[in-house]
Amino acid sequence: MLGIGDTPRMSMIFTMPRSTDIEALPPRHSGAHDTGRAAKPLFIIDADLRVHFSNQGAAALAREGLGAGERLVCADKLFAAKLQTWLKRRCAGSAPEEIRLSLSMRCGRQTVVDAVHLGGAGMDLFVLTVDDPQRMIDRNVDEVAEACGLTPTEARMLGLIVKGLDTVVAAKKLGIARTTARTHLQRLFAKTGTARQSELVRFVATFIEEAA
């Protein structure tokens, strides 16, 4: 696991408004919280791996081996070593302003991290964003299920189909007959306006729900 010794915190350069200057905002819909969790994971760190900001998407990765409280830690030692090397070289001016690194999560899932140096403001801060294709697909399956009115079984069937399984294997995993699995697939086609499994997978992968 990664860890760097404590270093003095940076002083804030922004002036916070007085409490009397802040107007009360109307309550936000619960969907805003869901959107935060669904956002691409993002960290802002310094060269000593102290976390200055992380969104809800980043917080969700802590259980999977990336990020923890005030310090960025990582279960993938190879990624950690490459990131630290780049941070040191970047601060010395001998590395490019951005880099893309492969990251293996604790469960074995492969992701990609883009790191960018924010040196223009005179601060050695770095933005890390995590591309996690599998999480995106899982999230899209949930959104398609809700938008298209899928039953729980149809939603599970859809999740298996987008992972590349055919109806025979999907039927075994769901504990249903093959004919029932094929019936669920036909219902998925009807509810999503698709006609083939490849088209259904593409529909899920590119799904963006229209605003109400």
The overall average pLDDT reported for the chain is: 81
Tens digits of residue pLDDT in 148-176: 999 999 999 999 998 889 999 999 999 99
Domain that holds residue 183: 134-205
Question: Quick one: pLDDT band at residue 38, thresholds 50, 70, 90?
Answer: low
Please say which residue of 131, 158, 180 terminates a domain. 131
Distances (CA, A) of 211 to 7, 112, 134, 144, 147: 45, 29, 24, 14, 11
In this predicted structure, the answer to whether residue 69 has a pLDDT above a threshold of 80 is: no
Report yes or no on 18 lying in a domain: no
Higher per-residue confidence, 123 vs 184: 184
Please say which residue of 131, 164, 183 terminates a domain. 131
In this predicted structure, the answer to whether residue 132 has a pLDDT above a threshold of 90 is: no
- Residues 59, 116, single domain; the answer is yes
- Residues 74, 150, single domain; the answer is no
Residues facing residue 100 across a β-bridge:
114
Q: What is the CATH number of the domain that holds 174?
A: 1.10.10.10
Tens digits of residue pLDDT in 71-95: 898 989 999 999 999 999 999 989 9
- Residues 117, 186, single domain; the answer is no
Residue 12: exposed, middle, or buried by beta-carbon count in 10 A (0-12, 13-18, 19+)? exposed
Domain count along the chain: 2
Report yes or no on 70 lying in a domain: yes
In this predicted structure, the answer to whether residue 202 has a pLDDT above a threshold of 80 is: yes
Residue 109: per-residue pLDDT: 82
- Residues 181, 126, single domain; the answer is no
Please say which residue of 131, 152, 168 terminates a domain. 131
- Residues 108, 162, single domain; the answer is no
Rg (CA), the chain: 22
